[in-house]
Chains A and B, each alone.
Chain A
Amino acid sequence: MDVVKSIAEAIEQGDNDAVRRLTAEAIAAGRAPGAILEEGLVAGMRVVGERFRTHEIFLPEVLLAARAMQAGLGLLRPLLLQDAVPTAGKIVVGTVRGDLHDIGKNLVGILLQGAGFSVIDLGKDVAPERFVDAAVAEGAPLIGMSTLLTTTMKGMRDVVELLRQRGLEGKIKTIIGGAPVSAEFAREIGADAYAFDAASAVERTRALLAPA
């Protein structure tokens, strides 16, 4: 089998050592780093994300696949930078202020990275100013916010408000997700998108960051 296709399969199996070895092989064989990323790592993670969405696999398998992806990405990253391979886009993510739950947010980050996005993860309990400052500093056109708690949903509105106050509305977009929020809530607070689950977060992000 083609070495790049084998990378995708090794990702699906969460086989970290195989991904590292095969990625090194593909690089040594002179394959384009962009192709190794797209047809190997991203293709593998796409299958993993889809299997997770349909409940064929669960969180542990996704985490194993993510670790395998990181193993390949570690080798590939310097080459991608050198080749100036553009990422699919940049997004700042975090769990909103007051909320310490990060399993959902981490999962979204994994799948976004797996889809080729450059993800700046601010962690949990992130204040509105930190979201906006990081997006500005990184030149990220999108902020992704997560919460598990009904008590912390307001933090999402605060970020949207802050963007408005700083005149960044429309320049930096927002996407929200998490157990208590919904499409109606996103509309209500003026967020640009709502994602029901991690897989749809990737689709929505792709749509939001697509060149107009």
Chain B
Amino acid sequence: MDSLRERLARGDVLVGDGAWGTMLMARGLAPGRPPESLVLERPEAVREVALLYLDAGAELLTTDTFGGSPLCLGSWGLGERAEEINARAVSIAREAAAGRALVQASVGPTGRILAPLGDTEPAEVGAAFARQIGAQARAGADAICIETMTDLAEMLLAVRAAHEVAPDLPVIATMTFDPTPRGFFTMMGVSVEQAARALTAAGVDVVGSNCGNGIDRMVAIARELRRWTSLPLAIRSNAGLPESRGAEVVYPETPELMAERIPALLDAGVSIVGGCCGTTPDHVRAFRRAVDARKLTSCPPP
């Protein structure tokens, strides 16, 4: 199978997968337990979700390691098992993919605020990312996907860790932006321009955004990113923002609605399209169709 770098260099568009937490909950993840614990306790549930996304047409599969840094796992008494959890999660994804898809190892934020603003030393966070990413790389991940970041300093610690412990792997770096009257900023005040410039300078392979927004705002973010970087872009959109219907939480954007906006994302230069919170295998199937339809129309007629 071609590597991610080869495919991106060729100008391919890759379809990613969708939400994981809700899918794992539907398969018995107890409320308030970390999704990563299923890697040890119920690997078959993790495999089942992976297979659903692969069957829907995902060719870039995410691992169940979002909260897999020893700093996050430590809150559950699982810090010592961080290497084991990350390695097993990558193995599960690789076995499920069986050559049909590349595996991007997820790295989420630690949830800490870095000193001097907060109480966690940057070196501690960097070391935690290095342990997590090292284990992912040794287990055979095809790419490192650092996602949902809001603090540029924490993002860059993860990028640096990836470059140190997994120098051969491509890094996908995506941040989460909120709309403000002055444009998109992360919770920590990072603009799209700042993110794009800093991540490009840091030598990542792909920059982008995931979570926090529905598809329309993601199109706007993609266009803004494209102004500030020539790197391939990744967008993993929520199915809108959660709405509460009684005791249920519902994400309003349907597969059809989101798929309609895929051409706009591709026009903005996005190379990886996938889903975040609220998306399902049906959403991924619709993304797949939209991306494939685009390939057909962009070929010259015979």
Contact = CB atoms under 8 A, between A and B. Distances in A.
Query: Do chains A and B interact in one complex?
Result: yes
Interface in B172-192: 178, 180-182, 185-189
A103 B185 contact: no
A98 B111 contact: no
B77 interface: no
Nearest to B182: A55
A58 B190 CA distance: 9
Contacts of B111: 100-103
A171 interface: no
B91 to A, nearest CB: 25
A179 B211 CA distance: 12
A188 interface: yes
Interface stretch (A25-33, A82-90, A148-156): A148-156
B118 A63 contact: yes
A180 B188 CA distance: 20
B247 interface: yes
B297 interface: no
A180 B189 contact: no
A57 interface: yes
B185 A182 contact: no
A153 B117 contact: no
A101 B113 CA distance: 12
Contact of A179 (B31, B188, B242, B246): B242
Contacts of B188: 58-60
Given A54-B181, A55-B185, A98-B31, A63 B244 contact: no
Contacts of A64: 117
Contacts of B301: none
Contacts of A54: 181
Nearest to B112: A103
A151 B180 contact: no
Contacts of B187: 58-59, 103
Contacts of B298: none
Interface string A35-61: 000000000000000000011011111
B29 A150 contact: no
Nearest to B187: A59
Contacts of B181: 54-55
A151 B244 contact: no
A60 B111 CA distance: 14
B28 interface: no
Q: Name the residue in A58, A61, A101, A149 with the highest tally of chain B Cβ atoms < 10 Å from its Cβ.
A: A58
Contacts of A191: none
B21 interface: yes
A99 interface: yes
Interface string A144-186: 0000011111110000000000000000000000011110110
B38 to A, nearest CB: 13
Interface string A63-82: 11000000000000000000
3 closest Cβ pairs, A-B complex: A98-B32, A58-B189, A55-B180
13 contacts: A55-B178, A55-B185, A58-B185, A58-B186, A58-B188, A59-B188, A59-B189, A61-B189, A99-B32, A102-B111, A103-B113, A125-B75, A149-B32
Given A57-B189, A58-B187, A64-B117, 18 more contacts: A55-B180, A63-B117, A98-B32, A100-B72, A100-B75, A102-B111, A103-B113, A149-B21, A150-B22, A150-B25, A153-B249, A154-B31, A155-B32, A180-B242, A182-B243, A184-B245, A184-B246, A185-B247
